[in-house]
Chains A and B, each alone.
Chain A
Amino acid sequence: MALNAEDEEFDWEPPSEAEMKVIQARRERQDKISKLMGDYLLKGYKMLGETCGQCETILLQDRQKKNYCVACQELDSDVDKDNPALNAQAALSQVRERQLAAQDSPQVGGASSGDSSLSVSGLPRPEHCEGAASGLRGPLLAPPAPAAPASVPGLTSCNVATVPKPVRPIQTPVPAPAHTQHPAVSCAEEALLQKLRWAAQELQQSTAVEASAQLCGLIRSCAESLRSLKELQQP
């Protein structure tokens, strides 16, 4: 049970500062998970005997017999934080590390907003990047604070959305540099407009109230997605 300094077989050094930060972050995350779980238990959720497949957190089940994982669905995923494809900051630090390792000298000021791991133009300043990155993400992602488990038009949602969205336009993992029309964005726009047309046609022909309401919802989300796409195109 104890780690002894006298034990010669196992050398143990105190954790470095970086490791301490990681430990601290993990502990805070664990505290947040416990607090959320306590809240849900008091709300009447049932604690199941199974754990989530991705993060090993204990699953909760609500009154409607739906399973719910507090870590995956409410907190920012621990793993995604380090994945450069999903996180601007992670990509940035990866780029910086690569540059430091290769001893690159040119430092062009005027950072671009993009963090694409494919193209790099100098050493972008973090705050500029973060702002741009958040602008890119803005209306599309749910705020990281724990929200009610409603379906949000975000990147990750384990709940079943009530209105099936046929297209999620900003699923592209790479937020593109804004000046040129990225082919993915134009492709997405086209698909959206197509769906919009189709939905409008269906709406004209539809006789049921439920179906009409769903089609209206679809049209609304297409319009919102189009608006977000337009914002993407602007710097």
Chain B
Amino acid sequence: VQQQPPAPLGALVQVAEALEDVVRRCVGPRGGQVFFTKDTGEALITREGRRILTALQLDHPVARALVGCVSAHCVATGDGAKSFILLLAALLRGIRATGGSPVAGWRSSGQTDPCGRLEARRSACQLLSFQTQVLDAVVKEHVAPHATSLFSHTSPAEARRALRLLLEAFFRGRAGQVHCGLLAEMACDFYHRWNCERDRVGTLRMIRDHFPELHTSVTGFPTSKSRILQGLVLHRDLTVYCPAEGPTKAAVLHTALQPLLTEADSTLIISSSHQFHGWGTWVAGQVEQNVASLENLQVKLLLSAVKQTDLVLYHAKKAGMSVVECLDMEELSLFCRLSGVLPLTDLADLVDNAHVASVTFCQPVVLGSRRYTHVGIPEGRDFLPHCLVLCGPAEGLTNQCVSAFGDAIRENLFYSNTLIEPGAVLPAGGAFEFLLHHYLLKYTSRTHCPDTQAACRLVAEALLSLPRQVYAHSGTGGHFLKVYTSFVSRIQSGEPARPVSLGPEGLESVACKYDLLVSVLQCLGRLLSVDAIIHTTALLRLYTEEDLN
């Protein structure tokens, strides 16, 4: 185990700038994609910041800490890896520029001196207190009033249009210019078909939690073939298929219908063939009885988590029941939740009606090269279940589509924090950054503390790096300045409470943008206050509290 002094500010900036250069190529609606290949021949095309960063090989401890922070942020909010890195690099550059004489401090190897560390640590503490004391207040009082709410539109057509703009901007960043319209339309459709309005939070939470079960990804087809299906697609084929017209009943089984020969860890001694035959007859009788009980409950579809034996399948076919075996536990639990039934774990419950669900239809469906089971679920109390079929030409692109969709739901519709209500949106293309920049600079003139002033200026300058990067890819070089100056003139002439619009670029969620800024400031604080870096050669075993007790 060896210990070394912490990374000086120069190294932090270098790491951040190298990562910034990597993600910068993919930022904005006109950014490119990165094509990764592995030695095994696997290929991955992506412009998702988190995927790119985790695919890089990084041994530097600061770089790994950074990528860890970014991943944690993305898991919580669903997006923002590239903006995270851009903002962090801009803040680090700002700190380096203000701390000490720029010429001497550049490549002085004396960054390990205690003054440098203390200074960095002070900056870290200052930024964190700045965020809680000043930034929160500025955002709540000045920036939030400019935002409009997605969910407060009076006419449903308006609300739908607003949602579409929000999702289109999101998909333009994640999936590129080509497919963003289609995916946004589908997402809007999906949201409305679920009838989320009755219990928005609960339904969205369910969609978010069960998104892996609610979608099917199909490789080998163009993205335009993606569609929404009513009901649920179970990712197994029907073992026994007896076509039935109209609504039927279904039962969810967690056990086998045929009684087991023995329990585990026990020995069965058969003393004669007569005994064996007797046992066989008894088992057959039990199976017939079980299937007959199911038939009495008018069950025509068996959804089983385990594999059923051939005898069971034979009897089921005789009774005209369709059987699906070896289903995932998560899918079955989603099915139970959507239809409001309990799964059958004990065969004694076979007479109980509470375990029987009604389905509107059941049929096999071919998606791509596989056959799945498509069941229709009647309308529940608060929602009408639908599921997605997402297509893509190659596996990497399909996965990109899928993750973009999942994150869209998670971030845009569901996300909220304590300061800003869910659904508060601003026009995309830099409105949030411009507004916050403007109000932070105004705040510096009102406050007298020099540290706060410096922090305000630092954050305000760093914020502008995001729209600058987005507009950098567009044709005209001066586009950013044009937009910025027109915005400033509008904000200074207009009334403060009127919502600002920058053009039909789409919308973005204010809560997510603000949380990104907070995450960046906290990550920065953590990086700057590292005291020592310890290299270990053995794998660290992390002890939990239970282990220690």
Contacts and interface: CB of A to CB of B under 8 A. Distances in A.
A4 B453 CA distance: 10
B209 interface: no
A76 to B, nearest CB: 15
B451 A30 contact: no
B22 A46 contact: no
Contact of A41 (B22, B95, B103): B22
A1 B109 contact: no
Interface string B48-74: 000000001111110100000000000
Contact of A48 (B18, B59, B122, B458): B59
Interface in B88-136: 95, 98-99, 101-103, 106-107, 109, 119, 122-123, 126
B450 A46 contact: no
Interface in A43-59: 44-49, 51, 55-58
Contacts of B58: 41, 46-47
A122 to B, nearest CB: 34
Given A3-B98, A48-B60, A42 B34 contact: yes
A33 B451 CA distance: 32
Contacts of A3: 98
A1 B11 contact: no
Contacts of B126: 1
A167 interface: no
A228 to B, nearest CB: 34
A89 to B, nearest CB: 20
Contacts, number: 94
B18 A41 contact: yes
B21 A47 contact: no
B254 to A, nearest CB: 47
A31 B14 CA distance: 9
A2 B103 CA distance: 16
A37 B106 contact: no
A47 B18 contact: yes
B119 A1 contact: yes
B15 A44 contact: no
B110 to A, nearest CB: 11
A106 interface: no
A1 B535 CA distance: 30
A31 B16 CA distance: 12
A163 to B, nearest CB: 30
Interface in A146-198: none
A99 to B, nearest CB: 27
Contact of B59 (A19, A26, A47, A51): A47
B168 interface: no
Contact of A1 (B19, B99, B106): B99
A56 B10 contact: yes
Contact of B14 (A2, A33, A45): A33
A58 B57 contact: no
Interface residues of B, number: 40
Interface residues of A, number: 34
A44 B98 CA distance: 34
Given A2-B98, A15-B103, A37-B21, A58 B60 contact: yes
A58 B59 CA distance: 11
Contact of A57 (B14, B21, B22, B458): B14
Interface string A1-41: 11110100000100100010011001000110111011101
B76 interface: no
B109 A56 contact: yes
Given A47-B58, A47-B63, A1 B20 contact: no
B295 to A, nearest CB: 62
A34 B18 contact: yes
Given A37-B21, A38-B22, A46 B10 contact: no
A1 B451 contact: yes
B17 interface: yes
B244 interface: no
A52 to B, nearest CB: 11
Interface string B217-230: 00000000000000
Contacts of B75: none
- Name which of A26, A42, A49, A78 has the most chain B CB atoms within 10 A of its CB: A49
Interface string A53-94: 001111001000000000000000010000000000000000
B98 A34 contact: no
B103 A19 contact: yes
Contacts of B458: 1
Contacts of A23: 102-103
Contacts of A49: 59-61, 533, 535
Contacts of A26: 103, 106-107
A164 to B, nearest CB: 31
A42 B57 CA distance: 9
A2 B60 contact: no
- Name which of B24, B60, B122, B533 has the most chain A CB atoms within 10 A of its CB: B60
Interface of A: 1-4, 6, 12, 15, 19, 22-23, 26, 30-31, 33-35, 37-39, 41-42, 44-49, 51, 55-58, 61, 78
19 contacts: A1-B126, A1-B455, A2-B454, A12-B101, A15-B103, A30-B14, A30-B106, A31-B17, A34-B18, A37-B17, A42-B22, A42-B56, A46-B57, A47-B18, A47-B58, A47-B59, A47-B60, A49-B533, A55-B107
Given A34-B21, A47-B58, A47-B60, 17 more contacts: A1-B95, A1-B98, A1-B126, A1-B458, A31-B17, A33-B14, A35-B21, A38-B22, A42-B22, A45-B57, A47-B15, A47-B59, A47-B63, A56-B107, A57-B14, A58-B11, A61-B59
